[in-house]
Amino acid sequence: MRTHQLLPMNQSLRSVFIFSLLLVSLIRAVAQTPASVSGQVLGYLANRIGDYDGLRLRTATGEIHLSFPPHTAARIRQTATTGQRVTADLAPRPGRPLPNIQEEEKHKIIAVSYRLIRLRNEKTGVVFQLADFPPPPPQSGQLVQSEGPLMKKLFDEQGRLTALLTDKYLIELKPHQTEQISALLVGINRLGFTGFERTVNGFVNQTGRPVLHPTSLTIRGQTFAL
C-alpha cells in the first residue's frame, strides 16, 4: 500500500519539476527577445582610444545610445551615416535588465545600457546583423619602427593618459605602460617608437590614424621597454 501511495506523489513532483523548468526557459526566452526602436543617427561614440563602438540615436521623444563591438564599426558606419533614419534591434548588456524604452523616452533619459543586435537603414533597406561578424582571431600585426612628432596626448574621462598621437600613428597605452612613461613625456614634442600596427579590418578610429601597440618608446634618446 505504501508503495502505491508514494508512486503517484513522485510522479506529481516530477511533473511539477518539469513544468518549472519549462516556465524558467520561457521566461528567459522572453527576457532575451530584442526590443526594436527607430530614429535618426546623431553620430557615433568612441572608446578610450578613439575606436568607434557606439552610436547615438534620436527617437521621437529622446536620445539613446547603442553599443557595438569596435571590429564592426566600418560596416555599421557604411550601413547608416549621420542623419539617416534606422531601425535597430537591441538588447541589454550582460547582467543588466532591458530598460523600458517608452518609459525612458517620456522623460528623455539617455540610456547607455543597450547593445546593438541588428541595424536596418530605412531608406536603402540595407541590413547589418552583428551576429554575422564574430570577433577576429588575435593577431600580432605588422612590426613598425619609426619616429615622429608628438602631436597630442589622449586622455579618458577620468583624466588618465590612454594614447599618444603622432603624425602617422595612434599609439595605444595600457594602464601599466602609462604609469611607466607619463612623467617622461613632460615637455616632449618628438619620440621614437617600436610596436605592432593593428592590421585587422573593421575597426575605425576617430583620429583617422592606424593604431600601434608599442613595445618600446624612445624619449630624449633613451629607449624604454614597455
Q: What is the pLDDT of residues 114-149, one digit of tens each?
A: 899 999 999 999 999 999 999 998 888 999 999 999
Structure letter (DSSP) for residue 71: G
Answer whether 33's CB lies under 8 Å from 189's CB.
no
Amino acid present at 95? G
pLDDT of residue 14: 60
Domains, the chain, ranges and CATH? 35-132 (2.40.50.140), 142-225 (2.40.50.140)
* Cβ partners under 8 Å of residue 101, min gap 6: 35, 37, 59, 64, 111
Using 50 as the pLDDT threshold, list the residues of the chain that sit under it.
1-7, 9, 16, 23-32, 95-111
Using a 10 angstrom Cβ sphere, with 0-12 exposed, 13-18 middle and 19 or more buried, the burial of residue 60 is exposed
Cell of 12: 506529481
Using a 10 angstrom Cβ sphere, with 0-12 exposed, 13-18 middle and 19 or more buried, the burial of residue 57 is buried
> Could you tell me what percent of the chain has a pLDDT over 70?
76
